[in-house]
Amino acid sequence: MALDPTKHADWEIAADAETRMKTVYELGDALGLEKEELLPYGHYVAKLDYRKIMERLKDKPDGKYVDVTAISPTPLGEGKSTCAMGLVQGLGKRNKSVIGAIRQPSGGPTMNIKGSAAGGGLAQCIPLTPFSLGLTGDINAIMNAHNLGMVALTARMQHEANYTDEQLALRNLKRLDIHPKKVEFGWIMDFCAQSLRNITIGLGGKMDGFTMQSKFAIAVSSEIMAILAVASDLKDMRERIGKIVVAYNKQDKPITTADLEVDGAMTAWMVEALNPNMLQTLEGQPVMVHAGPFANIAIGQSSVIADRVALKLADYNVTESGFGADIGFEKFWNLKCRYSGLKPNCAVIVATIRALKCHGGAPIPIPGKPMPEEYNSENVGWVEEGCKNLIHHIETVKKAGINPVVCINAFYTDTDAEIDAIRRIGEAAGARVALSRHWEHGGDGALEFADAVTDACEEPNDFKFLYELDTPLSQRIELIAKEVYGADGVSYTPEARVKLKRMEADPDLKEMGTCMVKTHLSLSHDPKLKGVPKGWTLPIQDILTYKGAGFVVPVAGAISLMPGTASDPAYRRVDVDVETGKVKGVF
């Protein structure tokens, strides 16, 4: 019997369920995996050899493909991972063959405010501690690969500063003439460390490196993570890593990892990381965990490889996109599906009463502080006003030609009148609407949700991209701003406009996808603007080049690739039982 989520913390529920987990061998047998396709990391976590699986099952038809996204969340998130796990468990209760495919959590939010993104209540991915604290080392591999590229760049800059052309030639080096103020790359680590956003390196003597301004970003924002998400195989990954632009030279030509002759070594760190990880739900359905979070500053998708494997092994694959449909779903739609060639059958839009109230006029919740009391009493007016945000996201999914299902992620404080308002408004907007109580009741609470998704998957759709790759970059940015965010137009800083002009003239960049960086807390660039803001312009501050991943990355508004740690972070409550070695307090 599972613990009561109204009386126990998520980590306590997970720890209790872990005493009844299936082994990876049992999960593998249920999926029909062959012995050499399963790569165990202990008894309850494994990697899967995607190459062997895909070769063996290459002629098997794919299962149904479901993406889980959401309305614009409050600062506390709205249970998208919880809904993904609840849907997997609900489909399992309906005797469907199903696999989840979610993103590996970053150590930053796990040790900060948001938590580990394993789900919650009776809809979680377990074992929780490995899931939350490094798993099989994929993010560590990304950090090593990325930072090795930065080591190669800074060492080269030092040597070129200290040696003549003749001395470089004796060392079999050709001068790259890197411009110290046009370095695109920085360092990464997997924590929220605001004090490292802007740093100076190379202090000391000439043997201590090249002195210049530098920076840190959070690990999951690395282009290496984006490459892991979209790569089709090792050959593709190797080619993409060699195209990463780390800097520009004094003639404004790009310097790549291949120019630094470090691309092969960077790929060497990533070989094992390319295999997706397999865990399970609280109710024993398999879950692929692969690639990264942060759709506001990165692609924010589980990997193409994980989805392809899951679609071959099961009749339903429930994948997950970060944050709201304006951010995560838009990137799933126009980037991930473009690179994978996969077409979804259905998209779930997660909504909660509290988030709709926030968009409808209730006080904005503050991370680390209790939820304002206004959220604990009925207010149908706030819910109805907030549903304008829901309708906007329904329309975004419909623009992709995909069948939308609204999941009302129920809290036990929600009232019937508030739930009825969402049903009425969502159905009038052309979506199926399902109430789900998976947080409180697990798979048994998600049957209506599972049935709505099953029905939506049986209907034909007309999937189409928002833009074609030959569309000029400026037009793509404007399309996303107007059609997905609801902006009146786009503005550019002088620096961003210079980069835009250069990119539109570069034939190699013309056919790259567009990966927007924008706050997840509003349809606009301003996190304080809730609901569906009107009469605003999207300000593009900068445009980055992720040539290896195949993206240009416009940065909108004041957003940092290195989040900050709050005053009351989660790490204050994480500890270890020194008698058993069990970790407690991760949520």
In-domain check, residue 534: yes
Catalytic residue annotation? 80, 82, 103, 114, 295, 323, 411, 439
State the average pLDDT over residues 384-402: 97
> Above 90 in pLDDT, residue 204?
yes
In-domain check, residue 434: no
In-domain check, residue 148: yes
> Above 80 in pLDDT, residue 585?
yes
Positive or negative, the CA dihedral 482, 499, 157, 240 is positive
With bands split at pLDDT 50, 70 and 90, how would you rate the model's confidence at 508?
Answer: confident
Predicted TM-score (pTM) of this structure = 0.94
User: pLDDT of 381-392, one tens digit each?
Assistant: 999 999 999 999
State the average pLDDT over residues 273-283: 98
What's the Rg (C-alpha) of the chain? 24
- Give CA–CA dist 2/18, Å, rounded: 11
Per residue, the 3-state secondary structure of 451-469, as one string, reads: HHHHHHHHCCCCCCCCCCC
Contact 285, 100 (CB under 8 A): yes
**CATH code, domain carrying 525:** 3.10.410.10
Residue 368: what pLDDT?
67
Residue 493, domain extent:
473-556
How high does pLDDT run on average in the chain? 94
C-alpha to C-alpha distances, 115 to 364, 519, 573, nearest whole angstrom: 19, 19, 11
In-domain check, residue 284: no
With bands split at pLDDT 50, 70 and 90, how would you rate the model's confidence at 567?
Answer: confident
Contact 449, 436 (CB under 8 A): yes
> Above 80 in pLDDT, residue 211?
yes
> Above 80 in pLDDT, residue 510?
no
User: pLDDT of 464-489, one tens digit each?
Assistant: 999 999 899 999 999 999 999 999 99
DSSP state, 561?
A: S
> Above 90 in pLDDT, residue 100?
yes
Residue 380: what pLDDT?
97
DSSP state, 321?
A: B
State the average pLDDT over residues 491-512: 90
- Give CA–CA dist 357/378, Å, rounded: 10
Q: How many CB atoms lie within 10 A of CB 296?
A: 23
> Above 80 in pLDDT, residue 327?
yes
Please report, rounded to a whole number, the percentage of residues in the chain having pLDDT higher than 90: 86
In-domain check, residue 329: no
State the average pLDDT over residues 433-460: 97
**CATH code, domain carrying 260:** 3.30.1510.10
Contact 551, 335 (CB under 8 A): yes
Q: Identify the domain boundary among 269, 291, 314.
A: 269
Kindly provide the residue ranges of all beta strands, DSSP E only, lying in 352-456, ordered along the sequence. Answer: 403-409, 432-436
- Give CA–CA dist 179/251, Å, rounded: 8
In-domain check, residue 326: no
Contact 408, 418 (CB under 8 A): no
Residue 148: what pLDDT?
98
φ and ψ of 474, to 5 deg:
-60, -35
Name the one residue in this structure whose structure tokens are 């623009």.
399
- Give CA–CA dist 66/72, Å, rounded: 19
Using alpha carbons, select from 280, 349, 282, 393 the residue that is nearest to residue 80: 349
With bands split at pLDDT 50, 70 and 90, how would you rate the model's confidence at 558?
Answer: confident
Helix (H) and strand (E) counts for the chain?
Answer: 21, 25
Contact 409, 351 (CB under 8 A): yes
Please report, rounded to a whole number, the percentage of residues in the chain having pLDDT higher than 70: 99
Contact 323, 456 (CB under 8 A): no
How far apart, in Å, do the first and last CA atoms of the chain sit?
A: 21
User: pLDDT of 23-53, one tens digit each?
Assistant: 999 999 999 999 999 999 999 999 999 999 9
Residue 525: what pLDDT?
95
> Above 70 in pLDDT, residue 362?
yes
In-domain check, residue 486: yes
In-domain check, residue 504: yes
Q: Considering its fold, how many domains does the chain have in total? A: 2
Residue 406: what pLDDT?
98
Structure tokens at 380: 């149908």
With bands split at pLDDT 50, 70 and 90, how would you rate the model's confidence at 76?
Answer: low
Residue 310: what pLDDT?
98
Q: Identify the domain boundary among 250, 269, 288.
A: 269
Q: Identify the domain boundary among 211, 236, 269.
A: 269
Bridge-based pairing of strands 583-584 and 575-576 is antiparallel
